[in-house]
A and B are shown apart, each in its own frame.
Chain A
Amino acid sequence: MSGVHQFVPMLHLGDAVGQHTEELQALLRRLGVRSEIYVELEDPETGHLTRHMDRYAVDAAPGDLLVYQLATASDMAGWLASRQEPLVVNYHNLTPPELIAPWDNGLARHQVRATGERDRLAGRSVLGVAVSEVNRADLVAAGYRATAVVPPIVRLIDGCGAADLDAGGRAGGPPEVGTERTEVGAEGTEVGAEGAARPRRRGARWLSVGRLAPNKALEHAMVSLLAYRMRHDPDAELVIAGRPAFPAYARALRRFAAELGLARAVHFEGRVSDRTLAGLYRSADVLVVVSAHEGFCLPVVEAMAHRLPVVALARGALPEVLGGAGVLLDEPDPLTVADAVWTLQSDKAARARAVANGCDRMVSLGLAGAGRRLVDLLLAARDRRPWPGEVRTATR
């Protein structure tokens, strides 16, 4: 019996690609389609969910469709290229090596290799599925003949579940401006990440979510925070939630914060649980995204779901994902970022508008139907049926 099997170099819990892969498998199985997840390297946390790719030679059945979840370099790419089964590349974006090189030569070279693998798979794939139009442009440039855009399948953290997605996210309506958004713990303290208490805040709380990686350009957020504190609110702070994916970059950020005199105003929370992250979204005043490159940026969606306004830089997929909600800036000028945040903090109408637009945008992004759309595409590929209308084809 033919199946739709996924290949991913490693399956990580709590990582967007890992979550997407797991959800896709669940959807396929629910429809009675055989679906396994094959990996090149086993993650001890997910070993029970995966099989080594060598095992596929035994499992293979006529009529199988293979799906490659591409977000990094892997020997798996060459191996898949050599197979005869139809292949779909589900592309989650690659960070440009130039952004990584000054911080980690090894990883930068890895990205160079991944880019080559992505491009070489173009001729071998029946379809390239990108999570955003920006990513689709990469695929088209690489020579993929049939492409489609389907957002990642996400399981939003507590507080912004499927009910929000389906109901338009406005059931509760935007919060009153000035409403205390902070989870208050013991008297005079707040509950920080992983339950740690820190002094109760007086100023605005900026939030940044995502791994500490050079493409996030968190140094821009810090200088913008400095400008905000000098101009508008000397007690403002920045909370950064995300694992330090590049140790050298993370060390530099801490040192930079100290040099800016922000050692006590910038909080590095590290990797946090879903529950803690939900608390951070609730207690923050604004999500600030000044990344130099983003392939999708799930935190923007999570922020909109938590009715948290977003100030973002127009880079990568951010204009597409934000889609007119929040505040989109052309340049990472610190004064402009600071003034944009201040507008959201001081202008009730502007804040309410940003929150309402975010709720609308969550619905129009089509996240709730993403899984079903992707499954439809994959089954069309497996069964060699005509493509649905959303697939664009190019002639070579």
Chain B
Amino acid sequence: MTSAGPTPDDGAGTLPAFLRELTGSFRRLRPQGSLRWNFSDAWVRLERSRARLLEDIGDQQPQPRGGAGPDGGERRGARTPSLDVLGRARARLRPLFETAAPQDRQDARWREMTEALDAALEALRYLTARVEALEDAAELHRRPVDGLDWLMAPQPLGHWAGPVSDRLAGAGGPVLHAECGAGELALALAIDRVVEGVEPRSGVAWTATEAGLRVHPVPVPDHLAALEPEVLGALVLSGVVDRLALEDLLALVELATGRLQHGGVLVVIGTDPAVVPADPLAGELLPGHPLRPETWALLLERSGYREVATLEPPAEVTAGSTFAVGGRRP
């Protein structure tokens, strides 16, 4: 991880890096593959290699199927290309088989080998079709959380810098704030730490980037999933924790825990559920409801965190608007 700090527009600075990552984030919407691997690329390479192999073998003496006769009509009786390829492959590979098997077994061994290869390829085709069907199904059932991100403006959280900074005391390693919004809190924490942000709303992320924060413009679960295990000294979660359904929150906490070093600190800044009904848009559109601080404390304790406590709110926080709960990974 790199820290906040470079000026936004220097050649290798924050803004170009942000834009590259923003454009690259489109890849996660591919139905076949992910940010780190792609099933289809491998599949195409396999098909291409096979085609080249067959072409290489078959091109020794082309015998086209159904060629035209001297009168321009169809010529009958030409061998089909596939049989021709097998015949030529057999001839080419015969020396190998001569050392591997007695003469009377060579043809049988060749047939076994080609049948095995064809069966493996066919199995891969079925697997491809199955993977595609599963991916399509997953796409259909995906919750529309990310699609709604842009509707909701992030809350400024800079006033939490004091209490959060105190809670992070003793936590070594880089700090990640996700979602960081316009970056107020992350930038305040970055004074004496290496801090990065995650913010899926690109316009908001742009603002944070121009302020000098290194921001990853992708959904929080995607970014955490892409990190190596146990790399973070501390993780501050906000925004996303107010929108997810309970089962997704549990998955997020599990994911976050795996990315924290032992002794690392997790801080959750949530919106008091009591204030949510005041926002009819959020009330109607959110698939999940924010949790209360007590519930978060329970959730962190059940997830194995120690020293779980609600942070003392700063004076600027309007009573009941936001809260923060922190814990340390054993």
Contact = CB atoms under 8 A, between A and B. Distances in A.
B68 interface: yes
Interface in B51-79: 51, 55, 59, 62, 64-70, 72-75, 78
B319 interface: no
Contacts of B75: 82
A334 interface: yes
Given A81-B64, A101-B41, A259 B47 contact: no
A258 to B, nearest CB: 5
A101 B75 CA distance: 38
Given A120-B55, A220-B23, A252-B30, A105 B150 contact: no
A261 B38 contact: no
A38 to B, nearest CB: 14
B72 A84 contact: yes
A101 B67 contact: no
A334 B64 CA distance: 50
Contacts of B22: 223, 226, 260, 334
A100 to B, nearest CB: 8
Interface in A48-92: 57, 60-62, 64, 78-79, 81-85
Interface residues on B, range: 35 or more
B30 A97 contact: no
Interface in B173-201: 200-201
A55 to B, nearest CB: 13
A138 interface: no
B203 A105 contact: no
A81 B64 CA distance: 7
Given A102-B27, A226-B206, A83 B68 contact: yes
A337 to B, nearest CB: 10
Nearest to B59: A120
A219 interface: yes
Given A60-B72, A259-B146, A83 B32 contact: no
Given A84-B72, A101-B38, A261-B203, A109 B19 contact: no
Interface string B253-270: 000000000000000000
Given A57-B74, A102-B32, A256-B26, A109 B44 contact: yes
A375 interface: no
Contacts of B126: none
Contacts of A85: 68, 72
Interface in A95-128: 97-98, 101-103, 105, 108-109, 112-113, 116, 119-120
Contacts of B23: 219-220, 223, 332, 334
Contacts of B132: 105
A335 interface: yes
A258 B67 contact: no
B29 interface: yes
A101 B40 contact: yes
Nearest to A81: B64
Contacts of A82: 64-68, 75, 78
19 contacts: A57-B72, A78-B64, A78-B81, A81-B62, A84-B70, A98-B44, A102-B32, A102-B40, A103-B30, A105-B40, A109-B47, A120-B59, A220-B23, A256-B26, A258-B150, A259-B146, A259-B202, A260-B150, A261-B201
Interface of B: 15-16, 19, 22-23, 26-27, 29-33, 38, 40-41, 43-44, 47-48, 51, 55, 59, 62, 64-70, 72-75, 78, 81, 128, 132, 139, 146-147, 149-150, 200-203, 206
Given A84-B69, A97-B48, A116-B51, 8 more contacts: A57-B74, A81-B64, A84-B72, A251-B139, A252-B26, A259-B150, A259-B202, A260-B150
